[in-house]
Structure 1
Amino acid sequence: MLDILAITTPIFAIIGLGYLARAGRIIGHEPLQGIGIFVMYFALPALVIRALTQNPLGEVFDPDYLLAYGAGSLVVFALGLAFTLGLEHKPLGTGAIQALGMSASNSGFIGYPVAAMVLGSPAAMFLALNMLIENLLIIPLALTLAELGRQTGNGFRGTLHQTALRLVRNPVLIGLLIGVLLAVMGRPIPAPLAKAIDMLAGAAGPAALFVIGGSLYGLRPKGMVRDMGQIAIGKLVLHPLAVFGIFLLLPDIDPLLLTGALLFACAPMISVYPIFGQRFGLSDITAAALMVSTLGSFVTISLVLWLMRHSGLFALSSG
């Protein structure tokens, strides 16, 4: 168990430092936002570019991983949407946002740092694959349905157009595009530029964790235990189980792919979840769900790592 704590404790210690920095007024809300912007617009795109250019493109884009992780995420999204619409009779917009919280992991800010501690350099490859799934499949699906639920009068085609415009401005997707183009061209990045990319990529993990911790300061559940609990359980329990189950259906399971997928699926929901929630009048519940899921992931990630150590299915030693 000590080796598990050796992996998880540094990660959540940095989250704790971010929280304490806000609580002690060492850093304010606006400077913290600045760090978050740095991570989102520079560090994470650099990390994705490095992942796509360090290995041959055929080794990065693994169709089995994309299929299994994407299918598992879609299953959880569909279950979450069906539950909120069919059993709780909530509006489509509410159902779509709650389902988003259950099925889209915080791959860049928590999933990657955890996977990097466990797997090393392959974690960047999994980050690139997960960014594709989340930014091209899960998030657009959720936002499109939520926009349709608002009945803004734009119609389905107008809603798709608005969603597409947001996506093309996404810095992570821009990084993905640049990385793919560089990988297809097959030309090495000039040494000074490659060094700058490495430096930015190296800052992604710790800076992202610090931002998560600072963002948790001041959040209060305010009597939203039921909805908050549903989203958190869906993300921390149902999503990893669904991804794990889909991978078991594959004819030949690659232990490395299974390990990476499960580690990323165990992460809490995307850090911008409250921003999406605010747009659709759900800022309180989404912020509370993010807080509970982030804190709860310390337990669930530690538990999954312990189970991995005692199973022959994963790319980990059993010691």
Structure 2
Amino acid sequence: MKSMSTIRTRFFIPALALLVIIFAGIRLSYAEQTIQFAPLPMEKKDTMLSKFQPLTSFLSERLKTKIEYTYTSNYATLLEKFANSEIDLTFLGPLPYVKLRKNFPAAEPIIFFKQSKDKATYTCAIATFPDNHFDFFDGKLQKIGLTQPLSTCGYLSANGLMKQHGNSLENNLYRYLGAHDKVALAIIRGEVAAGGLKTEVAQKYEHLGLIILAETGPLPPFALVANTRTLKQETIDTIISSLLELDQMLADDTELTEHQKKIIGKGFLRGNDSAYHIIRELQGSVTIPERGNY
């Protein structure tokens, strides 16, 4: 006759194995439900995270899914993490998106962010400060601040604007400073004579004396980009329908709560890859240096 200890052991081991499997499944299911979101590092970390918190909280509720933030200090690291499937959802400008899509076709722009109720495009600018005595047309060897190599408002747009005015970055001294607000502050402090940055960011510093000298034409909008390799189509469809539903409320002049206003911002449009043809054309004829020349 088998002892009670033998019977208990035979019962205990399979039961324990079953519990391990169950809890492992729960952890796996939880991991699958967590979305990694990474905002483009355009401004200070706290500014970017607080800017997107209402939006990600709303999507988290709609999806019944936890959304965690992944913050990177530069564009290149963000794109690398996305291509390695460490990021599921990100906020990108046109040039970073085009670069990502070329190397990682699973990147899909699902939502465009409007710049105003009726406009989705935005512009980049060259800005200066009165005390810096920047010569836009004929100046040589002047210090110019840029954002990052993969920033649409960095080398690509700044050099284009200078060439339109008979000058170029190569005739001057330029270096990459990182976030757009760092460029604005470097100009105001006189660390650089001028800089290239998003017009919307430059306008935030006009009250401190920053002067916008020139703007690009309309550029494709910033986008919410989904990783179709890691996100289910059902999840992507829910994100799209939820945000377009909010935009329709804005279009219908529905009375919105303050919280809803923070989520919606200026509104949303359905994203699509074809909107970026102008960036691909511009990029095709320009070699963007990875480092500054001073």
TM-score range, shorter chain: under 0.3
Task: Write 1 or 2 for the structure with the bigger share of helix.
Answer: 1
Scaled by the length of structure 2, the TM-score of the pair is 0.26
Q: Relative contact order: is structure 1 or structure 2 higher (C-alpha 8 Å, sep ≥ 6)?
A: 1
Scaled by the length of structure 1, the TM-score of the pair is 0.25
Larger radius of gyration: 2
Task: Write 1 or 2 for the structure with the bigger share of strand.
Answer: 2
